[in-house]
Chain A
Amino acid sequence: MNPKSLIIDDNPFIIDSLSDQIRQHHPEIEIIGNARSGREGLEKVRTLKPGLVFLDVEMPDMTGFDLLGQLREITFQTIFITSFSHYAIKAIRFNALDYLLKPIEEEELRQAIRRFYANLGKTANQEHIQQALDNLKTETPQEQKLFLQTQEGELRLPLKNIVSIEGERNYSYIHLANNTKKLSSKTLGHFEEILSDKGFFRCHRSFLVNGHYVQGLQGPGHFLLHNGNLAPISRRKKSEATAWFREYLADNEH
């Protein structure tokens, strides 16, 4: 049976151009409908029961996440579509969700469709969305959970369990509060991007620390962590690191 898709976006240009791209390059995917608002999208998801939804992140009446949060059960895969928005992209990447940037590039669409097929019959996409919805409801960033693909499989790590992240070329070691570490194939830059607004600070070219575990400054060039380990601070980041730590303490006094 052909996969059935639904496109939800408030901009008719995006609906038309994405529909044309799908018809041209992925004719096996049937487009069963489109919606120009979150509310209309919600109705169509319920009545048309698509297998794949292309979902705009920011619509005037509700966000894509609001829409998903109103469903009792998510039975389809979702590919988010967004214009360049730091806020939306951070949220999407933090939760390991799939997305396309508007206007949609043919090659990007091809790769997203390939991932859709690779995930057919699996629940990974829906689980990531459920986790994203839970994270969005969680007011304290340290309580949010990060999806992490490791050699041992996929982990969901509460941020409060991560002490620091150490970059090593194209991969990173996640140092945990229980003194173990996990290896991730993501770069330190990736973690910096998704964690810098959640209490983490890049204090060195190969170190990202979680403010929750920083006890103080040790001499001019290190943060002292709760487990007695030291995280280096690069010379050029010294004043920024001091200011960040002061601000972190002030914000988390209570």
Chain B
Amino acid sequence: MHLKLDRLEKLCQGDPDRKLKYLKQLLEIVPKGMERLQIHLETKDRRALRRAIHYLAPQLSFFGIPDFALILQMEDSQFDNLPFEELKSKLKESISRIGLALAEAEQLAQSLKNTSNP
């Protein structure tokens, strides 16, 4: 299991349509953000990287993926001074974990769709 769904369950109070709404939103927003992140990694644009991480972190944390929130907890200077290769490798690891979580979200969304439209 790569996703933790307790916050989703609590927010949606058992309503499958709302759960589906949040899963669809995750599947729409995060992959686009990941694409941007990959571009910023290639161009070594730290400021844009931090902005992209900042944008995605809350939604990922909500689904139990803390990687980006942990990166944001670094002091700004620590983030700025981290050797780029180290930052890149950290982010690549996170991106791969997030990819697995998204695949799981996709399956879950599909099963919710099947349940609501038999």
Contact = CB atoms under 8 A, between A and B. Distances in A.
Interface in B1-29: 7, 10-13, 18, 21-22, 25-26, 29
A119 interface: no
Interface residues of B, number: 24
B21 A16 contact: yes
Interface in A45-94: 58, 60, 83-87
Contacts of A12: 25, 29
Contact of B11 (A20, A58, A86): A20
A103 interface: yes
Q: How many of chain A's residues touch chain B, expressed as a range?
A: 20 to 34
A13 B29 CA distance: 9
B22 A17 contact: yes
Contact of A84 (B18, B25, B62, B69): B69
A84 B51 CA distance: 12
A86 B57 contact: no
B55 to A, nearest CB: 6
Contacts of B73: 84
B76 interface: yes
Nearest to B33: A11
Contact of A20 (B18, B54, B57): B18
A61 to B, nearest CB: 13
Q: Which of A20, A60, A87 has the most CB of B within 10 A?
A: A20
A11 B21 contact: no
**Main DSSP-derived SS at the B contact region:** helix
B72 interface: yes
Interface string A208-240: 000000000000000000000000000000000
B13 to A, nearest CB: 7
A12 B21 CA distance: 11
A11 to B, nearest CB: 6
Given A17-B11, A85-B54, A103 B61 contact: yes
B59 A103 contact: yes
A85 B57 CA distance: 11
Contacts of A14: 58-59
A11 B55 contact: yes
Contacts of B26: 13
Contacts of B58: 11, 13-14, 83, 102-103
B86 interface: no
Interface in B32-75: 51, 54-55, 57-59, 61-62, 69, 72-73, 75
5 contacts: A11-B29, A13-B22, A20-B12, A58-B54, A86-B76
Given A13-B22, A13-B62, 9 more contacts: A11-B29, A14-B59, A21-B11, A83-B57, A83-B72, A85-B54, A86-B76, A102-B57, A103-B58
Listed from nearest, the 9 A-B pairs whose CB atoms lie closest are A102-B58, A103-B62, A84-B72, A103-B58, A13-B59, A83-B54, A83-B57, A13-B25, A83-B58
